[in-house]
Amino acid sequence: MANRTKIKAMAKELNLQTIVNRQLKELSMGNLDYLQLILEKEVESRKQNSIAKIRKFCSLPSIQLNKERLHEGVRYQVEKLLNCEWIEKSKNLLIIGECNTGKTALANYLANNAVEQGLKVFYIKADELLVVLSKKEVLSKAQAIFNKIRNADLLVLDEVLYLNIDKENLELFYKTIMLINETTSIVFITNREISDWLKTAEEKYTMQLLISRALADTEVIRL
Question: What is the mean predicted confidence (pLDDT) over 119-134?
Answer: 93
Give the list of residues 6+ apart from residue 97 with CB closer than 8 angstroms, or none: 103, 191, 222, 223
Strand duo 185-190 + 154-158: pairing: parallel
Cβ-based neighbour number of residue 173 at 10 Å: 22
Question: Which candidate, 101, 91, 147, places its Cα nearest to that of 124?
Answer: 147
**Alpha carbons 91 and 88: distance in angstroms, whole number:** 8
Query: pLDDT by residue (tens digit) across 187-203?
Result: 999 999 988 888 888 88
CA 50 to the chain's CA centroid: 15
Domain ranges of the chain: 4-58, 67-222
**Alpha carbons 111 and 68: distance in angstroms, whole number:** 19
Query: pLDDT by residue (tens digit) across 205-215?
Result: 999 999 998 88
**Alpha carbons 217 and 212: distance in angstroms, whole number:** 9
Q: Does domain 67-222 have CATH number 3.40.50.300?
A: yes
